[in-house]
Chain A
């Protein structure tokens, strides 16, 4: 049996049904991946300079991180927040979807986590910019955590939106 919480109520709110279409979910995944890739590129470009951490990089980083909030909210609404809700608020099908996506991205997530450590160590060894190395490591580790969300949002079948209350006799 499932339990209704305020967080669950938000994700189940029918005002956000537009966010649950396949097209919207795909666009949210692409936007998050593009934003993350842009931040990785910006970090690498900044690391290639002598200055390293500059005000302009700080602005780019801050804007990117702030942009993640609405983007991830949109993505989460699209998948009814299956990864952020307590297990008790999910039925067996929803738990299955969550576990399936976790399992499918297990190896890529492990590889990204390893890349986060290796990339950060390599960057600090080559450029000496410790803060930027931490930024790169954080971004790749963050991407590893986002992979199950992206997998589910990309693969989830469209929901049935037909009205079923007026059933034939």
Chain B
């Protein structure tokens, strides 16, 4: 089971909002696909809840991405700047 982060150091950062926007997926569609309440997706996006490993893997599978591309213990850079860095 996941939990509420106790502080910034405990927080799991994610790209869910960006990926949803990019793929035009609503919060409800993602929630239905991974079996949680739509509000839980909102709590995840705002960093107010750290997901369980199972939920993180389900979300990563939904976006067809490795879990480390969606979730990180460190703040995630913007996708654009990461692509630029890889191309250099």
Q: Which residues of A contact B (CB under 8 A)?
A: 1-2, 91-96, 100, 157, 159-160, 164-165, 167-169
Contacts and interface: CB of A to CB of B under 8 A. Distances in A.
A100 B4 contact: yes
B39 A160 contact: yes
A92 B46 CA distance: 17
Does more than half of chain A's interface fall in helix, strand or loop, or is it mixed?
Answer: loop
Contacts of B1: 92, 95-96
Given A93-B37, A96-B49, 17 more contacts: A2-B37, A91-B35, A91-B40, A93-B2, A94-B37, A96-B1, A96-B4, A100-B4, A157-B43, A159-B39, A159-B42, A160-B42, A164-B26, A164-B28, A167-B20, A167-B25, A168-B21
18 contacts: A91-B35, A92-B2, A92-B40, A92-B51, A92-B52, A93-B2, A93-B43, A96-B2, A96-B3, A157-B43, A160-B39, A164-B26, A164-B27, A164-B28, A165-B28, A167-B20, A167-B21, A168-B21
Nearest to B48: A157
B55 interface: yes
Nearest to B51: A92
Interface of B: 1-4, 20-21, 24-28, 35-37, 39-40, 42-43, 45-46, 48-49, 51-52, 54-55
B49 A2 contact: no
Contacts of B35: 1-2, 91
B49 to A, nearest CB: 5
A79 to B, nearest CB: 12
